[in-house]
């Protein structure tokens, strides 16, 4: 069943492309002047062009381009200068998941400076963008995802985290030394969603340990509904998420599983957790693949079998599934159609015959076939916490089922590092954010120990920064720049 392979997809919802849309009024966008291809100090080609509000109503300066990370691979980026103080504010890199999900989802549906309008044929200004307090860099990666290419196509590309990390390192080196060197000394944060729990810790570990890798220190990594241990954070938490009981021992969770289903899950969970332990202990792709498959077929099936049109939506338990595997339609994913219009491609400098895909399922299948999709990044996280200065912020929407808060709490309480015991006994406390009227609103709960903070997000699913734009932006501004501390910043 394909959707099990897309278990950690980065929510690039529009997988098919509806008919081309025209700009409002039928006007054509004037192609912006672009600098010719240049080369960095290592002879790697890159190009960059400034964009206008015609293609993204950002309310500030923004640029698109590509960086050749090898002779046959090129990574696409969209870079937004901070609306506040570009040369002082931090740089925040955003990566969507998959593997194979385009980071354009994060741009147009979650944290970008512009968002799609209600008709999906133009953009509107996003007042809660992370560009309010940071320079935000969206990267389509690995090569073959979104507008990133492999020999001018989308077939092939990395099928494992180490190769993807090498390309990511090469990209950052060229970007900060040759494309935008003026941003090279600013604080750098790397955020990833969903399968970003595989990408981001793996990439940060590679940057910290690989000889010759991009060497600028990473201030923090931000893991958004992100699976660093897919079995425990996902399948292992399904029981907790759907079978919770009240103080009287009654199962009363709205939309929860019935008693017989919960009992069946109880019988299989011990073996699932035993296999997950073996996976973490060996880091063997075959062992981890077996654990993921067994747990999916024996525990996860109770959720997966109900992921049908009109059934459960694994990405948000408040909603129903429109169309598996990613359970949404063109209304919520129309950015794919928008990016496939001729006027947008011309503005971006993309060939009109190059198809944009919200998620590259061929690449997703290749990562599954390699086995690397199923190997956790718990060792990399432990290294980051104990051996580097990099802080970690974990965010999770309480209505996310696929990477559920319950499973995530267990994952992070059992994460081996020197302050594990302190983190485990630290108390969960409420956190609040100021609304437009300045009134404090409950955002969820948070706990912190040393370099690790974990915040839950109320009324949010898998795409929590999109579901609670203002609340999550408040947290990120606190985390990256210490702003709003007079408004009871919880970090």
Question: Over the stretch 354-408, which tens digit does the pLDDT of each residue have?
Answer: 999 999 999 999 999 999 999 999 999 999 999 999 999 999 999 999 999 999 9
Average pLDDT over the chain, rounded to an integer: 89
Which pLDDT does position 43 carry in this prediction?
A: 80
Residue 22 has, within 13 A of its CA and on its CB side, a CA count of 5
Whole-number percent of the chain with pLDDT over 90: 79
H or E element: which one contains 74?
Answer: strand 73-80
> Residue 9 pLDDT more than 70?
no
> Residue 158 pLDDT more than 70?
yes
Q: Residues 309-329: pLDDT tens digits?
A: 999 999 999 999 988 888 875
37: which DSSP letter?
P
Residue 22 CB neighbour total at 10 angstroms: 13
> Residue 134 pLDDT more than 80?
yes
Q: Residues 406-446: pLDDT tens digits?
A: 999 999 999 999 999 999 999 999 999 998 888 899 999 99
Q: Are 225 and 127 in contact (CB under 8 A)?
A: no
Please name which of 457, 331, 482, 480 lies closest in space to residue 405, comparing C-alpha atoms: 457
Residue 483 — pLDDT band, cuts 50, 70, 90? low
Average pLDDT over residues 150-174: 91
> Residue 279 pLDDT more than 90?
yes
Which pLDDT does position 36 carry in this prediction?
A: 63
**What helix, strand, coil percent values describe the chain, rounded to 5?**
40, 20, 45
> Residue 155 pLDDT more than 80?
no
Please name which of 366, 461, 453, 380 lies closest in space to residue 416, comparing C-alpha atoms: 380
User: Pick the residue with more confidence: 40 or 185?
Assistant: 185
Report all structural domains of the chain as residue ranges with CATH numbers, in order of start: 2-233+332-487 (3.40.50.1820), 236-304 (1.10.287)
CA distance 42 to 245: 60
Q: Residues 82-111: pLDDT tens digits?
A: 999 999 999 999 999 999 999 999 999 999
Residue 333 — pLDDT band, cuts 50, 70, 90? low
Q: Are 137 and 131 in contact (CB under 8 A)?
A: no
Which pLDDT does position 406 carry in this prediction?
A: 95
Which pLDDT does position 156 carry in this prediction?
A: 77
pTM over 0.85: yes
> Residue 15 pLDDT more than 90?
no
């Amino acid at each position: 069943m394909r959707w099990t392979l897309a278990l950690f997809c980065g929510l690039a919802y529009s997988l098919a492309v509806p008919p081309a849309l025209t700009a409002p009024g039928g006007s054509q966008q004037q192609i912006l002047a672009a600098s010719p291809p240049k080369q960095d100090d290592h002879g790697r080609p890159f190009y960059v062009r400034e964009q206008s509000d015609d293609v993204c109503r950002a309310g500030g300066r923004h640029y698109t381009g590509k960086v050749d990370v090898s002779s046959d691979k090129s990574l696409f980026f969209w870079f937004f200068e901070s609306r506040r103080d570009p040369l002082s504010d931090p740089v925040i890199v955003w990566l969507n998941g998959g593997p194979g999900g385009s980071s354009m989802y994060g741009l147009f549906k979650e944290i970008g400076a512009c968002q799609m309008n209600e008709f999906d044929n133009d953009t509107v200004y996003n007042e809660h963008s992370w560009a309010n307090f940071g320079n935000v860099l969206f990267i389509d990666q690995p090569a073959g995802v979104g507008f990133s290419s492999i020999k001018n196509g989308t077939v092939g590309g990395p099928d494992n985290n180490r190769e993807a990390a090498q390309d990511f390192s090469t990209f950052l080196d060229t970007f900060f030394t040759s494309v935008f060197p003026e941003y090279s000394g600013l604080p750098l944060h790397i955020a990833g969603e969903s399968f970003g729990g595989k990408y981001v810790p793996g990439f940060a570990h590679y940057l910290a340990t690989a000889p010759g890798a991009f060497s600028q220190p990473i201030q923090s990594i931000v893991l958004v509904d992100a699976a660093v241990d897919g079995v425990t954070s996902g399948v292992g938490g399904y029981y907790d998420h759907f079978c919770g009981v009240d103080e009287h021992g009654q199962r009363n969770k709205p939309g929860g599983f019935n008693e017989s289903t919960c009992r069946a899950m109880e019988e299989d969970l011990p073996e699932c957790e035993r296999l997950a332990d073996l996976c973490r202990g060996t880091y063997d792709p075959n062992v981890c693949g077996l654990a993921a498959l067994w747990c999916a077929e024996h525990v996860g099936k109770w959720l997966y079998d109900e992921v049908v049109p009109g059934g459960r939506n694994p990405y948000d338990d408040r909603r129903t599934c429109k169309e598996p595997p990613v359970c949404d339609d063109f209304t919520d994913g129309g950015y794919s159609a928008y990016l496939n219009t001729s006027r947008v491609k011309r503005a971006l400098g993309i060939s009109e015959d190059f198809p944009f895909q919200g998620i590259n399922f061929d690449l997703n299948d290749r990562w599954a076939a390699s086995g690397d999709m199923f190997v956790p990044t718990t060792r990399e996280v432990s290294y980051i916490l104990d051996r580097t200065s990099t802080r970690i912020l974990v965010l999770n929407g309480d209505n996310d089922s696929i990477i559920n808060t319950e499973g995530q709490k267990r994952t992070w309480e059992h994460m081996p590092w020197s302050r594990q015991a302190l983190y485990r006994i630290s108390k969960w406390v409420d956190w609040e954010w100021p609304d437009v009227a300045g009134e404090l609103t409950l955002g969820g709960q948070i706990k912190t120990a040393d370099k690790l903070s974990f915040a839950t997000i109320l009324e949010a699913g898998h795409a929590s920064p999109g579901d609670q734009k203002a609340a999550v932006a408040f947290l990120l501004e606190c985390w990256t720049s210490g702003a709003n501390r007079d408004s009871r910043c919880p970090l």
